[in-house]
Amino acid sequence: MATTGSPEPNDNKQPNISAAKVKELRDLTGAPMMDCKKALTEANGDAEKAVVILRKRGAAVAQKKAARITSEGSVAQYIHAGGKIGVLVEVNCESDFVARTDDFKRLISEIAMHIAASDPKFIRKEDVTSEDYEREKDIFRAQTAAMGKPPQVVDKIVEGKMAKFYEEVCLYEQPYIRDQAVTISQLITTAIGKLGENISVRRFARFKVGDAGETIAVSKPEQKPE
């Protein structure tokens, strides 16, 4: 005999995502409205989970666009500490339209400020010269070997120290000064997902009053597959 009562809940029912909630996520991430709605639906209305979904999709977009030529862009400057530190940075994108957007201008200003504060020596890991790489590796190996560690342990320790070395000297590997959980590479990846174009740091110069020399870094052209 059939029983009466409330119908069973439909597990496949889509959550009711309000336009206001979509707009809040749009304002927070800068992602297109439809992408925000889809992310919120997938996250069952959880805004924090939706942000993660959008960031993951932004990374996927960045990988697809990484081979595109960035021949446009802009130069930003940042002067810090009462005129004691100055930075010029060139950041490239694909079109003049994106280069003139407020989002792109904010990005390059943030990168210039980060360079002033964190003093990177290179842009990417690939830009580290073989001489610098081998010198640092030899130093770390000698330091570790002097501790009496066995060779296999020395190799592991040196590997970890080299990863830390990249994090300290390469702009893309450095934790963003405003959010240590995000690297500059991830910050750029998020901007790529938001603006829909490939973005890359081409070069920068950093000057500090009293230093014997300046830091000038130029990124190597990316090698295209044959």
| pLDDT for residue 47 | 83
Q: How many CA atoms does the CB half-sphere of 147 hold within 13 Å?
A: 13
| pLDDT for residue 177 | 95
The rounded average pLDDT for each run of 10 residues, N- to C-terminus, in the chain (226 residues) is: 47 74 77 83 87 74 66 92 92 92 96 96 93 89 83 84 91 95 92 88 94 87 49
H helix or E strand, kind and range, residue 191 = helix 184-195
| pLDDT for residue 135 | 92
What are the residue boundaries of the structural domains of the chain, listed by start? Answer: 16-65, 70-128+170-226, 130-163
Structurally, what CATH architecture does the domain formed by 16-65 represent?
Orthogonal Bundle (1.10)
| pLDDT for residue 93 | 93
| pLDDT for residue 62 | 66
| pLDDT for residue 69 | 65
Q: Which residues contact 37 (CB under 8 A, 6 or more apart)?
A: 17, 22
- CATH fold of 70-128+170-226 reads Tetrahydropterin Synthase; Chain A (3.30.479)
| pLDDT for residue 8 | 47
| pLDDT for residue 60 | 65
| pLDDT for residue 226 | 39
Q: Report pTM.
A: 0.69
**Structure-token pair, residue 222:** 């990316």
